[in-house]
Structure 1
Amino acid sequence: MAYKNFILVCGGTACESSHSEEIYRNLIKEAEALGVSRDVQVVKTGCFGFCEKGPIVKVLPSESFYVEVKPEDAHEIIAEQVVKGREVTRLLYRKDKKSDTAKLEDIEFYQKQFRIVLRNCGVINPESIDEYIARDGYKALEKALFEMAPEEIIAEVKASGLRGRGGAGFPTGLKWEAARKSPGDVKYIVCNADEGDPGAYMDRSTIEGDPHSILEAMVIAGRAVGANFGYIYIRAEYPLAIERLKIAIAQAKEYGLLGKDILGSGFDFDIEIRLGAGAFVCGEETALLQSIEGKRGMPRPKPPFPAVKGLWGKPTVINNVETLANIPVVLTRGAQWFAAIGTEKSKGTKVFALTGKINNSGLIEVPMGTTLREIIFDIGGGIKGGRKFKGVQTGGPSGGIIVEKDLDTPISYESLTALGSMMGSGGMIVMSEDDCVVDVSKFYMAFCVDESCGKCAPCRIGTKQMYGLLDKISKGQGEEADLDKLEQIGRAMTKASLCMLGGSAANPTLSTLRHFRAEYLEHIRDKKCRAGKCKDLVVYEIDPAKCIGCGLCARRCPVPCITGEKKKPHVIDGSKCIKCGECYTACKFGAVIKR
């Protein structure tokens, strides 16, 4: 059937939580009601990336890019766009109220991006293997099965310079080569989809939008190293990604792309999904393997590395979702093409979840070597509310805070490590002047305390001790000597912890101490939190010159601690105040002061 229009509806988790599924159903219903169902195909895709403006609907061939769409807008889109051929201008993207409408390619958020991993997200129906094949899907597998020897596949991956996107940045080809050379008739391929960093959703979105790319890459990896079975280890909190993986596996088996004698090549490979219970430590490869085996997820010493002795003691290749999503492109476009992108030591692109105090939050993919300034201010559109930039946290609880003077640093594994942070899996949280570094460090340390498996003393005891010191400081009870203790414990944890959970848990604290020591000292000496985030140090007062005596603050106060006569200035009793901030939020005249 020849359709005149195609309507792509974002079907990622973020947009689905904003009723994109209802939008999708309404568009189909309206097309039928208006008698144009034969003229338009409505397709549910993966994430477009521009999460700040979701739900997103894109209409082809006009390239109309609709943002913040609501279910009730479906009638107008069909009636105007499909029936009458006119765009619904009120839904088209505008940078601001004064700006002209823009097509996707003209939107600043997309202009400096380059999609390899996310190539099919927002483009195809992730539940259709035919649409994946139409965009060169499984072409790389065909090449790997019939045109390349296993050693040639590994040589191509090595030549591409692809490094692991899960955090450590180990060369992918070398890992595959080690597994290939390890003796044994049974070997395994494991996809690490246990994405646990706060604010990170790169792997989830990749699977939701393009699950077949992961399956194809795993079969190629199996062919390269001599493995016939693979596991996808994914956290159970990702129901949509899991469902689409199940659909993709069933389709691949139906098409002879998984299972016995794939495409008549004589090569067998099958894949099973294993659900994780949400333990952050299971992102560490040896803890992940323990979990797959049905044991408690705890890391073990290395060496031996998994490529030599992994799952059930057999050679095992573990790659994360983003790493695997690059593999089909490396084989179809060639190692030289891939290696031409990025920097000398960090090839290709990197996917980031850009969140925090940023105007354009979302999922982005940029060439390695793109600067942090370009990401935050060009792609991200700068800081919300015109606030001043304070720092950007890369690498989640394992990374550090990068400050303004380093914003022109080109992103690479080495450059971020040199700044006291790390690439990590790709979380990037932007902070403004309204954020408190003590509060941020305390949050990440609390996360690490909860997620530590407890196997090694440096992590089990060190994270708890650091959290206790940070908690003291946040309450105005700290001493200057506590800062030296934080640094000493942090350095000890970094050197002595068994895995990188403990080995990197101190990074946020150490980096903020290096860049914002004065702010820590304010908490200790002046009992003051300049950002007003540490509740014990916040004081609420009422400015009598601005207070009109409306009494709204008193009515909202849960204690209550606010008194005053009607139409006369009110007063807050500091001895009773629980620092909840309800009065500050309720006041419409700026009379309540927070300091």
Structure 2
Amino acid sequence: MTDTLTPILTKFWDDPQSWTLATYERHDGYKALTKALEMEPQAIIDAVKDSSIRGRGGAGFPTGMKWSFMSPPDGGPRYLVVNADESEPGTCKDVPLMMANPHALIEGVIIASYAIGCEHAFIYLRGEVVHVYRRLLRAVEEARAAGHLGTNVGGKGVTVDITVHAGAGAYICGEETALLDSLEGRRGQPRLKPPFPGAAGLYARPTSVNNVESIASVPGIILEGSDWFKGMGTEKSTGFGIFSLSGHVTNPGQFEAPLGITMRELIELAGGMRGGRKLKFWTPGGSSTPIFTEEHLDVPLDFDSVAAAGSMLGTRALQVFDETVSVVRAVARWTDFYAHESCGKCTPCREGTWWLRQIMNRIEAGQGTQDDIDKLVDICDNILGRSFCALGDAATSPITSAVQYFREEFEAGMHTPAHELFPPEKSVLFTVQTPVQTKESSGMVSA
């Protein structure tokens, strides 16, 4: 494993017009599609399988294997759906990728569609990011005008078209079956599995649902070869990934690096901790993953190593919190989020997240009781593994891990509010002007 950055998807993000077809073609854009159209569809699937790329949406399931698990062709339609509903708190890799380099995704969609026998692909985008929606629509227009989409892609008689769909902004639609329900015009709620989408997905037809970054990585694999891809990362977590560093670091941002890089290395690349303060805790894959502390800084950030250390790599949303932050307050905000975003379909998640929210807010306010901590853990145990989708599990992970590493802060919530123990103004990222009282008026004006 190398510890250097690997700018591939982010290679020309700093170009003045990185999102245009002309810029993409200057950087070997659509050469992979030309090569793919000379290959048999099964050869493309085999190349992706051989690269061992694992899904970049959080679960880490092998992408090529997911394609091969689709039901055999029967003459009916087959679908590719790109999950671009990036909603996990702290996750911000897919949106900048689609903004800065949308054609990498478009080319990946075309190649993947050809490989699995799909003639109509969908990109399901989070509805609030209207600017990204417009950029994707424009990229699709450019690709179609250049002959990369339509009924005769590359002059090979291949039919592929893309619909960009904007959802209504529900976190639950990041779950693949809830996304499919939403795409079909119904309320986004997870489906009972089986059947899995590979057998009966969109419109009850064989469907592959893949993450933005997974599909955008396909052109590189086809153009450069699977051995090139496996030359980065680790043996079981091959390739590169975009790591999103946010919070109390000097220079937060996107760092594209081989899987297996450590958090210590990434913090150094980000200029160290803000103000020279001490790291307190961090998330390896967004708010839905168990938190890590300073003792985990040298854990390789690959799927297996992070799992062995007790968390999940997830979407590589690395939120960094220094010693000024209350763990109780941070986890309480995440719990509020999950309680609000629960679709309400299953009882453990619907009722459990509501009760977790009440207890967390009570502890944060310094009004906790002697039994609240054990009650929190007990409720988490009754939610874990008992909900239709992973939202219930996501709500429990930050709580149980926070109690594990910072139980004393939860115990302090029995008598002292979190805002007294950790004044919020000390952990803010930006200097805020406070309103002042004037002598002439009782009204408030900005300083």
- Aligned partner of 1:517 among 401, 407, 410: 407
CA offsets, 1:151-203, max 9 Å, x none? 11011001101011101000000011112636452101111111112232211
1:403 partnered with 2:293: yes
Corresponding residue to 2:168 among 233, 256, 277: 277
Q: How does 1:256-295 map to 2 (within 5 A)?
A: 256-295=147-186
Q: C-alpha offsets along residues 250-294 of structure 1, whole Å, 9 cap, x if unaligned?
A: 111111100111111111000011101110110110010011100
| Partners of 1:253 and 1:165 in 2: CA distance | 27
1:455 is aligned to 2:342: no
1:140 equivalenced with 2:37 (yes/no): no
Distance (whole Å) between structure 1 residues aligned to residue 263 and residue 160 of structure 2: 41
2:9–2:101: 8 Å Cα contact kept in structure 1?
no
Q: Are 2:116 and 1:116 equivalent residues in the alignment? A: no
Provide the rounded CA distance (Å) in 2 between the counterparts of 1:508 and 1:183: 45
Q: Which runs of 5+ in 1 are unaligned?
A: 1-110, 536-551, 561-581, 587-595
Secondary structure at the counterpart of residue 390 of structure 1: strand
User: In structure 2, how many angstroms separate the alpha carbons of the residues matched to 1:533 and 1:306?
Assistant: 48
Structure 2, unpaired ranges of 5+: 426-433
Q: How far 1:425 moved relative to its partner?
A: 2.0
CA separation in 1, counterparts of 2:66 and 2:423?
Answer: 44
Give the conservation status (yes or no) of the 8 Å contact 1:281–1:297: yes
Q: Does 1:165 align with 2:56?
A: yes
Partner of 2:279: 389
The CA distance in 1 between the partners of 2:294 and 2:319, in whole Å, is 14
Other-structure match for 1:125: 17
AA aligned opposite 1:430: V
2:227 aligned counterpart, secondary structure = helix
| Distance across 2 between alignment mates of 1:293 and 1:174 | 25
Equivalent residue for 2:429? none
Report the residue type matching 2:335 in the other structure. M
Q: Indicate yes or no: 2:117 matched with 1:226.
A: yes
> Is the Cα–Cα contact under 8 Å of residues 263 and 299 in structure 2 kept in the other structure?
yes
427, 430, 434: which one aligns with 2:320: 430
Whether 1:205 aligns to 2:92 is no
Q: Distance in 2 between matches of 1:210 and 1:156?
A: 23
Q: Distance in 2 between matches of 1:260 and 1:126?
A: 27
**Which of the numbers 391, 396, 401 marks the counterpart of 1:501?**
391
Aligned pairs for 1:20-99 within 5 A: none
Q: Give the Cα–Cα distance (whole angstroms) in 1 for the partners of residues 435 and 286 of structure 2.
A: 38
TM-fit CA distance, 1:395: 2.3
Verify: 1:464 aligned to 2:361, yes or no. Answer: no
Give how far 1:477 is off: 1.5
Is the CA contact (8 Å cut-off) linking 2:365 and 2:418 kept in structure 1?
Answer: no
User: Amino acid of the residue matched to residue 402 of structure 1?
Assistant: F
> Which residue is 1:300 aligned to?
191
Picking from 67, 83, 91, the partner of 1:192 is: 83
RMSD: 2.2
Counterparts of 1:263 and 1:238, CA distance in 2? 31
- SS in structure 1 opposite 2:299? coil
Q: Aligned match of 2:372 in 471, 482, 487?
A: 482
Instruction: Summarize deviations over 1:21-62 as a string: whole Å, max 9, x none.
Output: xxxxxxxxxxxxxxxxxxxxxxxxxxxxxxxxxxxxxxxxxx
- Report the 3-state secondary structure (helix = DSSP H, G, I; strand = E; otherwise coil) of the residue aligned with 1:480: coil
**Equivalent of residue 47 in structure 2, options 152, 156, 172:** 156
CA contact (8 A) 2:172 2:178 kept: yes
2:340 is paired with a residue of what secondary structure?
helix
1:490-514 Cα offsets, whole Å, 9 max, x none, are 1221110110111221111111111
Contact 2:291 2:398 in 1 (8 A): yes
Task: Out of 114-123 and 190-199, give the one that drifted further.
Answer: 114-123
1:341 is matched with which residue? Answer: 232
Shift of the 482–259 alpha-carbon distance from structure 1 to 2, 3 Å rule, reads same
Whether contact under 8 Å (1:350, 1:365) holds in the other structure is: yes
Contact between 1:474 and 1:534, CA under 8 Å: does it hold in 2? Answer: no
Instruction: Tell me, yes or no, if the aligned pair for 2:178 and 2:191 is still in contact at 8 Å.
Output: yes
Amino acid at match of 1:141: L
From 411, 416, 420, give the equivalent of 2:310.
420
Q: Tell me the CA shift for residue 533 of structure 1.
A: 4.6
Please state how far the C-alpha of 1:488 moved relative to its aligned partner: 1.3
Distance (Å, rounded) in 2 between the aligned partners of 1:384 and 1:531: 20
Q: Which has the higher contact order (CA 8 A, sep 6+)?
A: 2
Could you say which residue in structure 1 is the equivalent of 2:431?
none
- Percentage of matched positions with identical amino acids: 41
- Residues 233, 273 of structure 1: 8 Å contact kept: yes
Specify whether residues 499 and 184 from structure 1 end up closer, same or farther in structure 2 by C-alpha distance, changes over 3 A only: farther
Q: Secondary structure at the match of 2:103?
A: helix
CA distance in 1, matches of 2:366, 2:424: 9
CA distance in 1, matches of 2:76, 2:12: 35
Letter aligned with residue 411 of structure 1: L
Cα drift, residue 380 of structure 1: 1.6
Residue 407 of structure 1 and its aligned partner are, at CA, apart by: 0.6
Quote how far apart the aligned CAs of 1:352 are. Answer: 2.0
Q: TM-score, normalised by structure 2?
A: 0.92
Name the residue aligned to 2:428.
Answer: none
SS of the counterpart of 2:112?
helix
Q: Distance in 1 between matches of 2:413 and 2:9?
A: 44
* Contact map agreement 1:399 1:420 (CA 8 A) in 2: no
Tell me which structure has the larger Cα radius of gyration. Answer: 1
